[in-house]
Structure 1
């Protein structure tokens, strides 16, 4: 793709840029590899004398020749006013990867032998798995090197890209002019400038990549003063961002205000008396609740004691039962005092600024 193409004209040496959109070329190389694997698997299914690896080399040359000839022929016929291939050419100019897939389908279809058709009909999943496995094998063995596939893909792309949407058609009469142009060409390969990102792409995709790059530093979505990488924005906003919304620490006692984390101290300072009132109200409610609970428990204990006393068979049993009930009542009284002490401690700590 990057090799210089030289054409000797009548007056001077004509040098063409011919740089291509790297993303489109990469997609086309993947389609080429899958097409080769499919043709190799389908043409040898059920053949005990052949396997995909044994035909891959010859199939690769045949596929490359077919695709280049077919794409060149379509363009040539359109230019010469031959058969109407307008729909194919429109697809070729606007969606070259789809156009290439269609060409490969035309190449692969006749390669499927009878056993391949039957096998595909009975188990399409098995066929797809064989194709995937052979793709991995070819990549591991470098059966069709990436450079070779890119060269084939680039040749096809330049032949069908009549509107020059995906490759550069600029020509120059000197090497210096060509080199200067290539340093600025929209199809030159550039690296992402965001720290941590190792992506490379054609210069015409800089803005698109920047709009999705996970390493792009962006202003905080919650409008704090920090800039955060796109991939860390959610975590930042949910954890350390000073503008993260938080509930008041006294939310459970009545203050239902929510505010940015950075103004927590200011909020607590300004509403100190309000928070104190909430605490006192809660304490009062708890005391009333404790008293009410104590009365209910006392009644239950009294009723239980009467039941147990009425069932006592002698003085000894009556004495033991009475002592047990007294012990339970004393324990309840102690528990109530502990609860009251805790409430008073909470009030004192709040008044001293510890809460």
Structure 2
């Protein structure tokens, strides 16, 4: 099978665009360091003379070569005919970030030493902790630089992405044409234009990012005239939005109308007479309640006096009854004060509306 790159070179198209989907490349790149650490730990488990650091250099070269070679083999074996394409090839070409872990797992499994297979060490938390520690060590020491890992994953991506969904396949005969293309390539890196957002991504994802960017100004969900930052929409709608639904200030006296916050003044002025009637009814009820409580207090005082004079009741019973009556009187006094407070508040609200 002819190599497409060789064919392009023969035409003089020696300047290829190297841009790839940055999001996919990043997802693949972040898998490599933990994979290398895992292979190094598993390869030296239980070995008194070797530790992960003693094998990591060789395993890094092996891992990179293994993934590239396996990718090339898979594509070569699966591109003979559309009907023959395996599920693994379809996964690799359409979901490369999910395909790479399959290669990593196969490589790590092949590097387990004999003791690792039989010791049961792999089911313990000790292995996981050891892998995390060694991963951190490799990262701190910059053993496998990110640019180097990125170059490896880009190579793999370009191999398996036969439909060019995740990388650019354009080639040019002159460097100035390549430069001109790079400024327009759909895989070029762009920055979010929403004020406050520092995100960068491939241009192909502009619409996707814009649809979820927390810094984007969008129309208020409650249809007020303001544009609100997406991340602050909930707070806006529940606090300052003029279209926020609120209850009438006279809700407690009978007006159960709910309306937009911006309609408060119009509602209060339009229903002034109705609100006055509600307040008047409450005042009448309060007066009746006050008179009723006065009568109850007088009755309780009489009952208490009779109980004090009664010699038929024993001292313990008389004490209990007296305490109960005192409690009831105290509660009635508190209720009376609360009612008076509410009446004063309603009268003040009424005066402020006039």
Question: What's the TM-score, normalizing by structure 2?
Answer: 0.85
| Aligned match of 1:222 | 222
Contact 2:286–2:339 (8 Å) recurs in 1:
no
Kindly tell me the number of residue pairs found equivalent between the two proteins: 331
Q: 1:120 to 1:199 in 2, by over 3 A?
A: farther
Q: 1:135 to 1:255 in 2, by over 3 A?
A: same
Q: 1:301 to 1:39 in 2, by over 3 A?
A: same
Contact 1:7–1:15 (8 Å) recurs in 2:
no
Tell me, yes or no, if structure 1 residue 147 matches structure 2 residue 147.
yes
| Aligned match of 1:282 | 282
Q: Deviations over 1:42-80 (max 9, x none)?
A: 111111222222221211111111111121122233446
| Aligned match of 2:352 | 353
Task: Report deviation, 1:262.
Answer: 1.1
Tell me, yes or no, if structure 1 residue 307 matches structure 2 residue 307.
yes
Contact 1:67–1:104 (8 Å) recurs in 2:
yes
Q: 1:199 to 1:310 in 2, by over 3 A?
A: same
Q: Which runs of 5+ in 2 are unaligned?
A: 313-329
Task: Report deviation, 1:119.
Answer: 5.1
Q: Within 5 A, what are the aligned runs for 1:104-183?
A: 104-118=104-118, 120=120, 123-183=123-183
Question: What's the TM-score, normalizing by structure 1?
Answer: 0.84
Q: 1:31 to 1:120 in 2, by over 3 A?
A: farther
Task: Report deviation, 1:135.
Answer: 1.7
Q: Within 5 A, what are the aligned runs for 1:1-355?
A: 9-10=9-10, 12-79=12-79, 86-118=86-118, 120=120, 123-311=123-311, 349=348, 352-353=351-352
Q: Deviations over 1:99-136 (max 9, x none)?
A: 21111111110211233235555743332222222222
Q: 1:289 to 1:119 in 2, by over 3 A?
A: farther
For 1:335 and 1:132, locate their aligned partners in 2 and report how far apart those are by CA, in whole Å: 65
Contact 1:276–1:350 (8 Å) recurs in 2:
no
Q: Deviations over 1:132-169 (max 9, x none)?
A: 22222211111111100000000011111111111111
Contact 1:223–1:243 (8 Å) recurs in 2:
yes
Task: Report deviation, 1:13.
Answer: 4.8
For 1:336 and 1:86, locate their aligned partners in 2 and report how far apart those are by CA, in whole Å: 81
Q: 1:340 to 1:146 in 2, by over 3 A?
A: closer
| Aligned match of 2:322 | none
For 2:182 and 2:213, locate their aligned partners in 1 and report how far apart those are by CA, in whole Å: 25
For 1:345 and 1:100, locate their aligned partners in 2 and report how far apart those are by CA, in whole Å: 74
Contact 1:15–1:172 (8 Å) recurs in 2:
yes
For 2:148 and 2:309, locate their aligned partners in 1 and report how far apart those are by CA, in whole Å: 102
For 1:346 and 1:44, locate their aligned partners in 2 and report how far apart those are by CA, in whole Å: 79
Task: Report deviation, 1:310.
Answer: 4.2
Contact 2:13–2:171 (8 Å) recurs in 1:
no
Task: Report deviation, 1:217.
Answer: 0.8
SS of match in other structure, 2:14: strand
SS of match in other structure, 2:166: coil
For 1:14 and 1:49, locate their aligned partners in 2 and report how far apart those are by CA, in whole Å: 50
For 2:262 and 2:223, locate their aligned partners in 1 and report how far apart those are by CA, in whole Å: 12
Q: Deviations over 1:231-271 (max 9, x none)?
A: 11111111111111111111111111111111111111111
For 1:118 and 1:223, locate their aligned partners in 2 and report how far apart those are by CA, in whole Å: 66
SS of match in other structure, 1:231: helix
Contact 2:74–2:89 (8 Å) recurs in 1:
yes
